[in-house]
Amino acid sequence: MSGSSSGPRRVLGLVGLLTRPSRQGRAAILLPSVAFTVTTAILLTVVSGTLMFMRDDRPGDDFAPGYMVLSLAALLFLAVPTVSLGASAARLSARRRDDRLATLRLLGASTREVSAFTVIEATMIAAAGNLAGIVLFGVLLPLVAQLRFFGERIGVAALWPGWPVLVLVPCAVTVLAGLSAVLGLRRVRLTPLGVRQRTDPQRRSLRRTATGIAVLAALVLVLSQIGMFTAVLGTAVVITIVLGTFGAGLAVLNLVGPPVIAARGRALARKASTPARFLAGRQLADHPAPVWRRVSGLAMISFVAVIGGVGLAMAGQLDENDAMADQVIFAADMRTGVLLTLAIAFVMLSCSVAVTQAAAVLDDAELIIALDRLGMPVSTWERARRTTVLLPMRWAALGGAAGGFLLGLPLMGAAVVLTPTAFLVVAVTFAAGFALVRLALTSTRPVVTVVRRAPDRVF
Partner 1 sequence: MDTHDSPAPVLVATDVTKAYESTIALAGASLSVSAGESLAIMGASGSGKTTLLHCLAAVIPPDSGSIRMSVPGAQPVELAGLDEEARSQLRRTRCGFVFQEGLLLPELSALENVALPLMLTGHPRPEAERAAAPWLRSLGLAGMEDRRIGQLSGGQAQRVAIARAQVTGAPVVFADEPTGALDSATSSDVMDALLYATSGQGRSLVLVTHDAAVAARCDRTLHMRDGRIVREKVAR
Q: Are 347 and 83 in contact (CB under 8 A)?
A: no
Helix (H, G, I), strand (E, B) or coil at 322: coil
Residues 315-334 that bind partner 1 (CB under 8 A): none
User: Pick from 63, 278, 346, 434: which binds partner 1 (CB under 8 A)?
Assistant: 278
For residues 408 and 307, the answer to whether their CB atoms sit within 8 Å is: yes
* Distance of alpha carbon 448 from the chain centroid: 23
Whole-angstrom Cα distance, residue 31 to residue 357? Answer: 11
Return the number of the residue (98 or 121) whose C-beta is nearest partner 1.
98
Q: Does residue number 23 form part of the binding site for partner 1 (CB under 8 A)? A: no
456 binds partner 1 (CB under 8 A): yes
Nearer to partner 1, 247 or 275 (CB): 275
380 binds partner 1 (CB under 8 A): yes
15 forms part of the interface with partner 1 (CB under 8 A): no
Q: What minimum distance in Å lies between the beta carbon of 183 and partner 1?
A: 22
Part in contact with partner 1 (CB under 8 A); list of ranges 137-145, 152-160, 280-288, 406-414 = 280-288
Q: Check binding of 373 to partner 1 (CB under 8 A).
A: yes
Binding flag, residue 283, partner 1 (CB under 8 A): yes
- Total of chain residues touching partner 1, rule CB under 8 A: 31
In whole angstroms, the minimum distance from the beta carbon of 256 to partner 1 comes to 23
Q: Of 190-249, which residues contact partner 1 (CB under 8 A)?
A: 197-201
**φ, ψ (nearest 5 deg) of residue 60:** -70, 175
Interface with partner 1, residue 5, by CB under 8 A: no
CB of 364 to partner 1, least distance (A): 11
Q: Which member of 25, 66, 155, 275 binds partner 1 (CB under 8 A)?
A: 275
Cα separation, 451 vs 458, in Å, equals: 7
Q: What DSSP string describes 381-448? A: HHHHHHHHHHHHHHHHHHHHHHHHHHHHHHHH-HHHHTSHHHHHHHHHHHHHHHHHHHHHHHHTHHHH
How many Cα atoms occupy the beta-carbon half-sphere of 180 within 13 Å?
25
Q: How far apart are CA 46 and CA 34, in angstroms?
A: 18
The yes or no reply on residue 458 touching partner 1 (CB under 8 A) is no
Question: From the CB of 206, what's the least distance to partner 1, in Å?
Answer: 21
Phi-psi label, residue 375: left if phi above 0, alpha if psi -120 to 50, beta otherwise: left
Residues at the site binding partner 1, with contacts judged by CB under 8 A: 197-201, 272-275, 278-279, 282-283, 285-287, 366-367, 369-378, 380, 453, 456
